[in-house]
């Protein structure tokens, strides 16, 4: 039947991974993600939790097997656990293989156990430094101790934690091995992410912050033997194993290595816009067909039409010391 045919893009890639931003709000103001005085979206523009359920359920019916909840900070959305609990039915049926989220960790002390009860087994925690002062500078509003307590709670609840650290030149370069050793001791994987040219952040100059992961990897190789791993976790990371410790380190390099050829994911914003590529401005409005009809057929067709427009890749490039392919929206709107 047409209604249950899988989502295949023009380059024969099956779309099985949906990242969903449930809010543009956050309790931090990280310098590479938001301006300090953000203007957030009016509530009426956001998909309700019921609409998010219907939207995600439609994608799952069309073959999406992995759902990652993002923001903003997803756990600051009021009553967000009702949405996670609603998604549990798709895990129970086997249609959804994994339900997970990316978080800044600030609310994990409160939500780790309920998340595990809802079927979440892995969380990614964004953490760029273990230094209190630097953490306050990067997040503007955050407290490191709160995040560390959240990570404790997540591990106590049985959640597998992966740390995502943005590589920031002149900021956390000196913590490369501190972060690596800390994650190894706690049996947490670690992924480094190249800073991306997202949003108009005022006076911050992204070129000054850009630390190539090629350089970061070379520094790791001075101390460890790096074994390239073939495994993928559904996202864009490429992994190595440190032979001496067995630890897994990931690299997300949108700027020095184009990982688009195997892209199986799309991003849904909190307002129902579907971005087929993080690095392109093209998007499809799914909120309109969702709200226009109680029937799912128009929404399904809008999703299929959007997937037919998915590009082959993006074009971020810092190599010429200019930010080509820069996109104007904030990461907090699109979802990390």
Residue/partner pairs of 179-182 with CB below 8 Å, 24 or more apart? 179/129, 179/130, 180/220, 180/242, 180/247, 180/249, 182/130
Question: Cβ contacts of residue 38 below 8 Å, gap of 6+?
Answer: 29, 330, 332
263 is in an annotated binding site: yes
103 is in an annotated binding site: no
183 is in an annotated binding site: no
Sign of the C-alpha dihedral computed for residues 114, 146, 35 and 103 taken in this order = negative
33 is in an annotated binding site: yes
277 is in an annotated binding site: yes
212 is in an annotated binding site: no
265 is in an annotated binding site: yes
77 is in an annotated binding site: no
162 is in an annotated binding site: yes
Phi, psi of 203 (to 5 degrees): -90, -10
DSSP assignment string, 179-206: HHHHHHHTT-EEEEEE---BS--TT--H
Contact between residue 250 and residue 190 where contact means Cβ atoms under 8 Å apart? yes
Q: How far apart are CA 20 and CA 236, in angstroms?
A: 16
126 is in an annotated binding site: yes
Q: How far apart are CA 161 and CA 163, in angstroms?
A: 7
Q: Which residues pair with 168 in a beta bridge?
A: 210
26 is in an annotated binding site: yes
Question: Cβ contacts of residue 44 below 8 Å, gap of 6+?
Answer: none
150 is in an annotated binding site: no
Q: Which residues pair with 145 in a beta bridge?
A: none
Known binding-site residue numbers for GTP: 19, 68, 102, 162, 265-267
Which residue positions form the known binding site for [4Fe-4S] cluster?
26, 30, 33, 260, 263, 277
- List, as residue ranges, the binding site for S-adenosyl-L-methionine: 32, 72, 126, 196
Binding positions are 19, 26, 30, 32-33, 68, 72, 102, 126, 162, 196, 260, 263, 265-267, 277
């Amino acid at each position: 039947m047409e209604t249950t045919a899988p989502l295949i893009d023009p380059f024969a890639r099956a779309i099985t991974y949906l990242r969903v931003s449930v809010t543009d709000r956050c309790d931090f103001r990280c310098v590479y993600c938001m301006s300090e005085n953000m203007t957030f979206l009016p509530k009426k523009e956001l998909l309700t939790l019921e609409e998010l359920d219907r939207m995600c359920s439609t994608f799952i019916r069309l073959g999406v097997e992995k759902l990652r909840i993002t923001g903003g900070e997803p756990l600051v959305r009021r009553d967000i656990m009702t949405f996670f609990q609603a998604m549990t039915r798709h895990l129970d049926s086997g249609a959804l293989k994994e339900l997970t989220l990316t978080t800044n960790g600030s609310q994990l002390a409160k939500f780790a156990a309920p998340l595990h009860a809802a079927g979440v087994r892995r969380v990614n925690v964004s953490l760029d430094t273990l230094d209190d002062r630097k953490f306050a500078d990067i997040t503007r509003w955050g407290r490191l101790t709160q995040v560390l307590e959240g990570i404790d709670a997540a591990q106590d609840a049985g959640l597998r934690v992966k740390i995502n650290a943005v590589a920031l030149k002149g900021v956390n370069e000196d913590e490369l091995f501190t972060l690596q050793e800390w994650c190894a001791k706690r049996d947490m994987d670690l992924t480094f992410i190249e800073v991306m040219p997202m949003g108009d952040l005022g006076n911050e100059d992204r070129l000054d912050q850009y630390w190539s992961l090629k350089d970061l990897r070379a520094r790791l190789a001075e101390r460890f033997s790096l074994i390239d791993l073939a495994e993928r976790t559904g996202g864009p990371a490429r992994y190595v194993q440190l032979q001496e410790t067995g630890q897994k380190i990931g690299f997300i390099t949108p700027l020095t290595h184009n990982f688009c050829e195997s892209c199986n994911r799309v991003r849904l914003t909190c307002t129902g816009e579907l971005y087929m590529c993080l690095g392109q401005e093209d998007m499809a409005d799914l909120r309109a067909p969702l709200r226009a009809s109680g029937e799912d057929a128009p929404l399904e067709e809008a999703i299929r039409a959007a997937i037919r427009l998915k590009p082959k890749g993006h074009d971020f490039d810092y190599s010429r010391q200019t930010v080509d392919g820069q996109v104007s929206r904030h990461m907090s709107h699109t979802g990390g």
